[in-house]
Amino acid sequence: MKNTTTRRTAMKNIALGTATALALPSLKAGTTVHRPPTAVSRFGHSVCRWCFGSMKLEELAEQVKPMGITSIELTTPDEWPILKKYGLTCALGSHPEQSLSDGYNQPGLHEMLNKRYFDLAKKAADAGIPTIIVFSGNRKGLDDKLGVEFCAKGLEPLAKYAEKLGVQVVMELLNSKVNHPDYQCDHTEWGVELVEKIGSPNFKLLYDIYHMQIMEGDVIATIKKHKDHIGHYHTAGVPGRNEIDETQELYYPAIMRAIADTGYNRYVAQEFIPKAADGMASLRKAVELCNV
């Protein structure tokens, strides 16, 4: 896959799985799903679907399970029954019509977005999917303070609904320097202010290590400082968004230990674009590197 691949373009090219829903266990209202620690890691291992979008979901599921990966995320409700068939889950559910650029910082979109994400949250609860993802949207000239206010106003009803369902909602931190120009939730402190303003235990941040290394660095100190505001993690190498190996500037074993030492026990997802011809070998090595 070329380095120019983005999540937005990749996910558009991934065919959805069967629309026939299988009977999946539902959650009790008010509960929160956690991935328990395993013998080799204090958190669960996941992989982002779009990074391996050239593979059929069934093939990807067969390949990743022996690696200790128990989740394929950024998948949609129609795909969750396929994951269940292979004994996998989706750590982070997404809507098939999600937009990174048009998000909750636009009040005119709140009604449409909440209709979309209320439905996704309910489907996630029914399927035992612990977390769903939302986005701030691009600034489009909007002041950052107003962006927080508008996002909080739009997301508060969804956060309250998610509390009743036992589902977590996360907003992703993305870099606006390289991959997502003008995206508003591009610094940890901005996201933290939003989390605190909403004030729900079921609304947190997706701390994407790749994106935040580009925007602000100081990854381990930030993770320690804001551990209570973070509900999910993504990885990738910097620069280039490729393998998390010795060719890039981040040392992932130390980062993973820092995450585990905060008491985090949900999922960490690999979201790198493999340069190697055998992407599965790269993925296997990444999981081994992140075992703590």
- Residue 32, pLDDT > 50, answer no
| Position 27 in a domain | no
Which pLDDT score, from 0 to 100, does residue 196 have? Answer: 98
CATH number for the domain spanning 111: value is 3.20.20.150
pLDDT level of residue 41 (50, 70, 90 thresholds): confident
| Position 18 in a domain | no
Lowest mean pLDDT among 18-22, 27-31, 33-37, 184-188: 18-22
Q: What average pLDDT does this structure show over 140-145?
A: 98
| Position 254 in a domain | yes
The distance from CA 91 to its chain's CA centroid, rounded to whole angstroms, is 8
pLDDT level of residue 148 (50, 70, 90 thresholds): very high
Q: What average pLDDT does this structure show over 235-254?
A: 96
What is the share, in percent, of the chain residues with pLDDT greater than 90?
Answer: 84
Residue 89 Rama label (left phi>0; alpha psi -120 to 50; beta) = beta
The Cβ-side half-sphere exposure at 177, using a 13 Å CA radius, reads: 14
| Position 187 in a domain | yes
Which pLDDT score, from 0 to 100, does residue 78 have? Answer: 98
Which pLDDT score, from 0 to 100, does residue 10 have? Answer: 56
What is the share, in percent, of the chain residues with pLDDT greater than 70?
Answer: 86
Q: What is the mean pLDDT of the chain?
A: 89
pLDDT level of residue 7 (50, 70, 90 thresholds): low
The residue type at 148: V
Strand-pair category, 168-172 with 131-134: parallel
Which pLDDT score, from 0 to 100, does residue 1 have? Answer: 34
Number of folded domains in the chain?
Answer: 1
Which pLDDT score, from 0 to 100, does residue 17 have? Answer: 38
Strand order in the sheet with 44-48: 69-73, 44-48, 267-270, 230-235, 203-208, 168-172, 131-134
- Residue 19, pLDDT > 70, answer no
| Position 250 in a domain | yes
Q: What average pLDDT does this structure show over 180-196?
A: 98
| Position 28 in a domain | no
Lowest mean pLDDT among 1-5, 139-143, 262-266: 1-5
Which pLDDT score, from 0 to 100, does residue 145 have? Answer: 98
| Position 47 in a domain | yes
Which pLDDT score, from 0 to 100, does residue 277 have? Answer: 83
pLDDT level of residue 276 (50, 70, 90 thresholds): confident
Which pLDDT score, from 0 to 100, does residue 40 have? Answer: 55
Which pLDDT score, from 0 to 100, does residue 27 have? Answer: 34
pLDDT (tens digit per residue) in 45-85: 999 999 999 999 999 999 999 999 999 999 999 999 999 99
Cα separation values, 118 from 154, 175, 237, 256, 274, Å: 12, 27, 34, 32, 34
Name the residue range of residue 54's domain. Answer: 7-13+42-290
| Position 20 in a domain | no
